[in-house]
Chains A and B, each alone.
Chain A
């Protein structure tokens, strides 16, 4: 890959929808998600060595997104109420965004990586560049809070802490698309 601009475009065009969907899941807000992706694209393709392949560039941007979200100290915008037609899938199901907002950013991103990407704590620690101990603490506290607030989700705290795939590379970003 010859240039950082090309890398940025390749990531946006190949995985931009996945990145934005992930950012919306984490932030619960379209504008905040757009800004998070914008920064992650620039940071992931602009820092360090030029990525050798689109996949490498995508991985860097994805890491930048998750790390930036985890470390952000900016106040979170209020949730925008959804039209009824865009609401919960199941009738009567509460808005998941409200439950996620009960979690700290650290807990939220750890649980998203754990349950959307299926990663284990060790792989999450690599993705976020933090200690496994910190990830385990975030998974436990986040899962406990969700279990208490949303019993309908059947959150298993021990499964949150101990489960998942340890090899980071086996997780394909956007595979659920």
Chain B
């Protein structure tokens, strides 16, 4: 027995209870702030049905994915379980290194499933001298090649499953060509020590996944074909030449985008498989191939996990260029005009450093104040505003707003923001603005030169942009707690509450990115009216 140690630990822990109660309120509030930022995202995804709307998406998935919010159209393989698989493998326990996983590998055969679920993978025998990942730099790969590798099962349970990935596939085709865009985020369901190579994740699309077919199209870290099976025991692995090993522990989330286009039939640059997916004729099986880097230098074997992805398929949304076919200048004196859409074209002063491959749990989406040219678009695009405030007394405010997209065609939108103006008929300057995450509080967003100063998300591409389908909703939210967020210590929940109660004008802003110009963004404005203020149960609970 070690009674002395047990007693000493118990005394030490008891000592830790002294004064603990006094610290808990602040800890609870900060934890709620973290949690709410996650909630923000999940609700954003589901506003208006299954359409993804905006996003701090990756942050939300870093906190977890609610089954109820994620459509899971089954892509279960047609093959049934087979007893013909050799299961005399060595379990790896908690060791998830590439070497240990390779040591546990057993053959995987087309159409067969193991008795106990394991991780699907590819084991590639390489010539160490020409292994493309040998001394590979981080960053984006400049090479896409495929290699025939052994299909295997590894580990004693699946490591990354379709529950670990949230993905949206957006497709579109017309006489000018076809386009498919896969945006995905991936996290590990448990802190299991798994390290993946975030620069070596490839998206694969198979239109006949359970057959053996000739090779298809490989392009920019992606593969599209009938199948990846080249024989009943071998599959194609997509390889690049960049490497950035990262742990998926502690809520870290990997993210990426694969965009593939094709010319119309008759063109030399036409792909039947891409066209079939882009035109909606076929819904492909999507598998992410994820390299697990070895502990040492890249050598004679490479292990690539195969992670099935349940995708929601929607139409590619229009971009700012599509909305700016007809517009005219807007001035402060114009006031409101419900027959037109108030909008702004904003210059992005300094695009925020974009997390291309991974973000950690503590990552916060960057925002900036942009100077914008006010304009009118011919037709109203947004309507039916809903605006509520959850009032937590002195501790915090939680504002959320929802709008409907009043057009049939889908539209690309980024994170919605909010500007609250206490004296909108006057003019202001950037120095007058206080901002916390998605919220800006100011006397007036109008400047003396007739421009507008508006809060804009710094993330305007990839997974941070949703393709809002027609008649669906845009949602935005902000949590005002300077102790947690610290953007501006001068902005307190009480200031925001007082301004809104006194009649300050709240305007929701919806950012529409340009397809071919990352230095600008189009902002759609929608006045919100008076909010419904709800007093939080936080004040009334014991």
- Chain A residues near B (Cβ < 8 Å): 4-6, 8-9, 12-13, 16-18, 20-25, 30, 33-34, 37-39, 41-43, 45-50, 67-68, 71, 86, 89, 93, 96-97, 100, 111-112, 115-116, 125, 129-134, 143, 146, 150, 152-156, 159-160, 163, 176-177
Interface 0/1 of B412-442, CB less than 8 Å to A:
0000000000000000000000000000000
B537: chain A residues within 8 A (beta carbon): 6
Give Cα A24 to B3, complex, Å: 21
CB nearest to B67 among chain A residues: A49
In the complex, the chain B residue whose C-beta lies closest to that of A100 is: B12
The reply on B361 being an interface residue by CB < 8 A is yes
Is B23 a contact of A30 with CB atoms below 8 Å?
yes
Q: Which residues of A contact B8 (CB under 8 A)?
A: 93, 96, 153
B2, B31, B251 — most chain A CB neighbours (10 Å): B31
B249 on the interface (CB 8 Å rule)? yes
- The verdict on B4 contacting chain A, using a C-beta distance below 8 Å, is yes
- Known A-B contacts A21-B17, A116-B10, A176-B10; the reply to A43 vs B251 at CB < 8 A is yes
Question: In the complex, what residues of B have CB within 8 A of residue A37's CB?
Answer: 27, 31
- Overall SS of chain A's interface: helix
Check if B250 is an interface residue, CB within 8 A of chain A. yes
| Chain B stretch 153-193: residues in CB contact (< 8 A) with chain A | 189-193
A residues in contact with B14, CB < 8 Å: 21, 176
Residue B297 CB within 8 A of the other chain:
no
Cβ B34 vs Cβ A46 within 8 A = yes
What total count of A-B pairs have CB within 8 Å?
166
Q: Which of B29-51 contact A (CB under 8 A)?
A: 30-32, 34-36, 38-39
Beyond A71-B191, A163-B1, A176-B10, 13 additional pairs, beta carbon < 8 A:
A5-B35, A5-B39, A12-B27, A21-B13, A34-B26, A34-B27, A39-B34, A46-B63, A111-B5, A112-B9, A125-B94, A131-B95, A154-B1
Q: How far is the CA of A105 from the CA of B4 in the complex (A)?
A: 21
**Is the CB–CB distance between A115 and B2 below 8 Å?**
yes
Chain B neighbourhood of A163, CB < 8 A: 1
Q: Which residues of B contact A133 (CB under 8 A)?
A: 93-94
Bound CA–CA A160/B1 (angstroms): 8
- A36–B70 Cα distance when bound, in Å, is 30
Q: Which residues of A contact B6 (CB under 8 A)?
A: 115-116
Interface size counted on chain B using CB atoms at 8 A: 52
Assess whether A134 is in contact with B94, with CB atoms less than 8 Å apart. yes
Separation of A134 and B193 alpha carbons in the complex (Å)? 13
Q: Are A20 and B94 in contact (CB under 8 A)?
A: no
| Known A8-B28, A143-B2; contact A46-B35, beta-carbon cutoff 8 A | yes
Decide if B66 is an interface residue (CB 8 Å cutoff).
Answer: yes
- Taken together as a complex, chains A and B put the C-alpha atoms of A8 and B2 apart, in Å, by 35
Chain B at the A interface: SS class: helix
- Nearest-CB distance from A40 to chain B (Å)? 8
- The contact sample of 6 A-B pairs, CB cut-off 8 A, is A16-B20, A39-B34, A48-B189, A116-B9, A163-B1, A177-B17
B470 beta carbon closer than 8 Å to chain A? no
A150 to B3, CA, bound (A): 13
> Would B5 and A154 count as touching, CB distance under 8 A?
yes
Closest to B92 in A: A131
Chain B residues contacting A111 (CB-CB under 8 Å) are: 5, 9
* B130 at the A interface (CB under 8 A): no
Q: Which residues of A have CB within 8 Å of B249?
A: 71
In the complex, the answer to whether A12 meets B24 with C-beta atoms within 8 Å is yes
Complex Cα gap A13–B29 (Å): 12
Is the beta-carbon distance between A154 and B24 smaller than 8 angstroms? Answer: no
Q: Could you say which residues of chain B place their CB within 8 Å of the CB of A86?
A: 15, 18
Question: Given that A42-B38, A129-B191 are known contacts, is A156 also in contact with B24, CB under 8 Å in the complex?
Answer: no
A49 partner residues in chain B, CB cutoff 8 A: 66-67
- Asked if B20 contacts A21 (CB within 8 A), the reply is yes
A20 engages B20 (CB within 8 Å): yes
Identify B192's interface contact among A22, A112, A129, CB under 8 A: A129
> B64 and A154: CB pair below 8 A?
no
User: In the docked arrangement, what's the CA distance between A38 and B39, Å?
Assistant: 16
- Docked CA distance A164–B10 (Å): 16
Which residues of A sit under 8 angstroms from B24, Cβ to Cβ? 12-13, 16-17, 20
On chain A, the residues within 8 Å of B34 by CB distance are: 38-39, 41-42, 46
